[in-house]
Every structure is written in C-alpha cells, then in structure tokens.
Amino acid sequence: MFQAQDSREFSKIACSRLGVVSRHIAPQASQPCGKSRADSLVPDREGFYIEDSDKGDEVDFPPFVSRSHASAQYGARSARSPLSRISGPAASAASVAGPIAGKSTDATSTAPLHWIFASGLKADSRDSNHPSSTSGPEPPSAEPVALVIGAGDAIGSAVARRFAREGYVAVVVRRNGSKLQVLVDGIAADGGKAVGFGVDARREDQVAQLVATVEAEIGPIHVMVFNIGANVKFNVVDTNSRVYFKVWEMACLAGFLASREAAQRMLVRNSGTIIFTGATASVRGAAGFSAFSGAKHALRALAQCLAKELGPQGIHVSHVVIDGAVDTPWIRESFPDMVWEKDKVDGLVQPDDVADLYWSLHMQKRSGWTFEVDLRPWKEKW
C-alpha cells in the first residue's frame, strides 16, 4: 500500500534508470519551459538553476550518483528514522504521533525542529526542544491545519495566507526557515495563525518528524499542499545522472514523502485534501527539459495513483497544472519585455488566483471532486 512504502523502494526504481557515466556540465541560464514555472528559479552554489519555490535557498547537487550509491544513501537515511505505520482508524494516538522531536525513542533521529513564530512570540517552555522559552503554541486543538511545503514568495505564500484567512493554522515549510519570518509575521498581522519550519523535504527523517510534530503539537492536518519544483534546463547530452536524480528528488521524491506522511494521518480521520502544484511540463515535454519534465510527469502519475487509492477512503487528491508564467519578482526582472506585453492583457498567473483555486478544491464536496485542473491566463496559447 502507498502509506507503507519507504523512500528506498521509491528511489531504487528511479535510480535503476540512471546512467553511470558522469560528464562536465556547462551551466545554462534557464528560460521558462514553455509555461512551467511555479515560483522562481534560483542558482545554487554550482551554477545550476533550481526552481523549488524557495528563491535564495541553497541546493546541493550530490557528487556523481550511481545506483549503489543512491540505494546506500537512502537505505542509511531511512534506517535512521523509523516511521510510524498507521493501518486504520484503530491505530493508537501514539502510533499516529510517530517520532516527535525530543520524544522519539530512536537515539539517532534528526535534531529537533526549529519553530518560526510571529515576531514577539517565543517558544513554549513545556518542551526544551523548542527555541527560546516562555509562551508559544497551544496544545493540539480542533483548529484545522493547512500544511504548505514549498512556501516560497509567490504561490506557496499566497496559499498559506488564503487558508489562514479561512481560520486554518498555516504551517509553512521551506529549506531556509529564516526566510519564513516575513510570511509568518504577515499572516499574524492580518489576524491569522502561522508557524514556520525549516525542513529539507528531500529528507525522509525530516519530513516524518515535521508531520508528526504538527499533528501532535499544533493540530490535525486537513490539507497538505506540495509546491516544490526543480526546473533546470540542460540539453540531454549534457545531463548527467546527478542532475537528473536531483531534479527528480526535489520535484517527485519530496512529494511522495510529504503526501505519504500526510495520508497516514488523514486515513485515521477518513478525510483530508492533498494538492500538488504541477506545470506545463507535467503533461508535455520540451527540448532542454528532460530532467524537469520527467520529474513533473512522475509527480503527476503519483498524484493519479494517490487519487485512486486514497479517494475511496475519504481523501481528496488533486493535481493542478499551472500553464502560464507566474507573476513573481524573478519573472519581472528576468523577462521584462514578456512581462510588459502580458501585463497589458492580464497575461500573468497571479499567485492569489492560484490560492483561490486551491481553496475551492479543498471545499469541494465528495460528490463532485476534481482530480486535475489547468490554470492559465485567458490569452495563453495552448
């Protein structure tokens, strides 16, 4: 079953298709893959451009990845972080909680999560693993949680703000947690509730710890939005295994980990919503985007499998194809001529419009669930 799979099984299948010859790669500045951008492209330390909704966050491409290296890497990682397995409504509360920071019996589990609260709100003294001291989050309550993984400056932030306005606790996640402070403060200033976490969504142990902590100490996850991409542009002959694997790891494996952990908790309640941010590259390829399009196709297939497996158990899974350039500072700086033309005719996808769509998907009755929807500006060619 889906919720019983671990990253070793998931990654071995992908790694078995990777090549074993490494090449020198000349970094190329990426252009929009047709219309495949979720948020911003960001260069990492090696010059690769990574779209993961976290502009400015640093991404480490591993050295050459062979089949045995990847299997060993993920085997060791998985062994460090045993995950709770939930078999149905009769599962105990302890099994749902899983290995929580400071409460796990696994001596080799990851370091405690760092909580990001609104400015002026310090962490809870009842748990020494929270930063600072004195007052902090209330114990778990009936308030629903919207977990946004990939809470960058455009779509991810807009989704978090939208759900917070509706009374949800917005739990926002990105690798560089310090960049969440502005978003968390903004939601609080508008009267909403938000908590941020700096988590690498490619790490199975960190994702398991994140979801367990949210469920045990903040509230039940009613909706999980996966908004991470990994857009790079390389000719296929210049794409080595480490590039292909890293793009897949960010855009697909991370989605598998996040959705599996969320689904385990949702199944106990027989309800919940899981939404994946897709792209034009999710449904058709383009020259120069073999890695990105391959990963996004895989994420779409994952979403389809989840919809068929989890739907009959009360969980709504939806995949959204963002078929247009999203209005972000990076897009405006990098493509001023295109933006000037599109601005005249409402030709850029607005993050708030995406957020409204995600809210409407979450509110659908099960008598009329949408699995996949395309979102594009009215004059976008398709």
Closest alpha carbon to 135 in 115, 160, 162? 115
The 10s digit of each residue's pLDDT in 117-143 is 998 665 443 343 443 322 344 545 678
Best-predicted range by mean pLDDT (142-146, 155-159, 175-179, 333-337): 155-159
- The per-residue pLDDT for 3 is 64
Q: Which residue has the tokens 């990574």?
A: 50
Tens digits of residue pLDDT in 45-88: 333 334 344 443 444 444 333 333 433 443 433 333 332 222 23
pLDDT band at 341 (very low <50, low <70, confident <90, very high): confident
pLDDT average, residue stretch 184-213: 97
2-20+41-83+94-375 topology per CATH: Rossmann fold (3.40.50)
Using DSSP's 3-state secondary structure scheme, residue 359 falls into: helix
Query: Is a pLDDT exceeding 70 seen at residue 159?
Result: yes
The band of 328, judged by pLDDT with boundaries at 50, 70 and 90, is confident
pLDDT of residue 329: 85
What is the reported pLDDT for 150?
A: 96
Closest CA to 157 of 307, 335, 277, 278: 277
Q: pTM of the entire structure? A: 0.73
Among 324, 245, 278, 328, CA closest to 56: 328
CA distances from 178 to 87, 100, 162, 304, 331 (A): 36, 22, 21, 34, 23
User: What would the pLDDT profile of 204-228 be if each residue is shown by its tens digit?
Assistant: 999 999 999 999 999 999 999 999 9
Which contiguous run of DSSP H or E holds residue 222?
A: strand 221-226
Domain ranges of the chain: 2-20+41-83+94-375
**Contact yes or no for 299/252 (Cβ under 8 A):** yes
CA 174, CA 221: separation in Å to the nearest integer?
17
CB 259 within 8 A of CB 306: yes
Exposure pattern of 70-102 as b/e (b: 16+ CB <10 Å)? Answer: beebbeebbeebbbbebeeeebeeeebbbbbbe
Rounded CA separation 157/170 (Å): 10
- DSSP letters of 295-326? HHHHHHHHHHHHHHHHGGGTEEEEEEEE-S-B
Q: What is the pLDDT of residue 215?
A: 97
Q: Which strand ranges, in their side-by-side order, compose the sheet holding 272-279?
A: 115-116, 193-198, 169-174, 145-149, 221-226, 272-279, 315-322, 372-375
Which range, of 58-72, 190-204, 248-262, 290-304, averages the lowest pLDDT? Answer: 58-72
pLDDT value at residue 112: 83
Pairwise pLDDT comparison (24 vs 261), residue with the higher score:
261
| Lowest mean pLDDT, pick from 63-67, 249-253, 340-344 | 63-67
Nearest to 278 by CA among 51, 57, 60: 51
Query: Which of 38-47, 123-132, 169-178 is the most confident on average?
Result: 169-178
CB within 8 Å of 17: residues ≥ 6 apart? none
